[in-house]
Amino acid sequence: MEVAHQHHHAPEKGEKALKHYFIEFFMLFLAVSLGFLADNYREHNVEKERAKEMAIGLYNDLERDSLLLHTLMARKDLFINEMSSLIKTLSEKDVKNKITKLTYYQASFLMEIDMPIPSRANLDQLTNSGSLRYFKDKKLITDISQWDNIITVQFQERFQTDQLRLIEEIKAVSAVFYPVILDSMRSISFKQFYENKKVSSETLESFENTPAELITYNEAELNQVIGWASERKRNAIVRATSFFPKQLEHIRNLMQALNKEFNIKKEK
């Protein structure tokens, strides 16, 4: 009976060992799983914070683009006035007696491009990194994709068209206006156009009172310049009254949605 009793307790030791191994395995598994989940949670938070930083960068880009478009809209009257005066002068019958340095100043505006390309560094980073998946507002994601498309299709295509047009404008202007005088006027109009450095009325008056000559007074070549000036004037009106306001509305909606999603104004 004693032998049988001893054999009865042997399996009990094996059961305890097995249970001990199982508990150790379970604890190890739990520790690894919790560590994995903690790493995932931490990485998720890091990626989410990075998405917020990109959103703030996009917001700042949109803010700068908005100011730029407002500036270009304000230049509408400048373009209309200068192009109208240039067209009027070159259309005069006694055009030889009407040319002054002011005419050269007005013609120099035909040498600049007035179509911007909005900033897209933060936009590209945001869309290419996959960070949009952390945005809660699905409409905001759609609007960001739409803004990307607007830059690519509407702004860049117009800019490329303007570049090609500029080549033809420079050819037409250079055939009529002396380059040396034109370049001296362009250094002034460039600062006014891109740096908002307004030319004083005294300077403009001195230009108007300084007679100048053209390379040619050939009617066909003058008409080419007149045609380009007319197109610039028309573009200035359409862009300032239609295209730019429409894009400003899209920018404004994007900024409001970004601010609502990430409370950006509080961060700034």
Taking residues 188-216, what's their average pLDDT?
A: 89
- Cα angle value 106/111/116 (rounded, 5°): 115
Predicted confidence at residue 141, as pLDDT, reads 92
Residue 212 backbone zone (phi > 0: left; psi -120 to 50: alpha; other: beta):
beta
Predicted confidence at residue 105, as pLDDT, reads 95
Cβ-based neighbours of 89, under 8 Å, separated by 6 or more: 95, 98, 99, 103, 106
Predicted confidence at residue 1, as pLDDT, reads 44
Tokens of 17: 């060992």
Predicted confidence at residue 134, as pLDDT, reads 81
Taking residues 73-101, what's their average pLDDT?
A: 94
What pTM does this model have? 0.77
Candidates 251, 105, 248, 116; CA nearest to 182 is 105
* 76: Cα separation from own chain's centroid: 20
Predicted confidence at residue 47, as pLDDT, reads 63
Rounded Cα distance between 226 and 107, Å, is 10
pLDDT in tens, 130-139: 888 888 889 9
Rounded Cα distance between 23 and 19, Å, is 6
Confidence of residue 27 (pLDDT cuts 50, 70, 90): low
Helix (H, G, I), strand (E, B) or coil at 57: helix
- Cα angle value 89/94/97 (rounded, 5°): 75
190 vs 48, residue with greater confidence:
190
Q: Which of 113-122, 128-137, 170-179 has the highest mean pLDDT?
A: 170-179
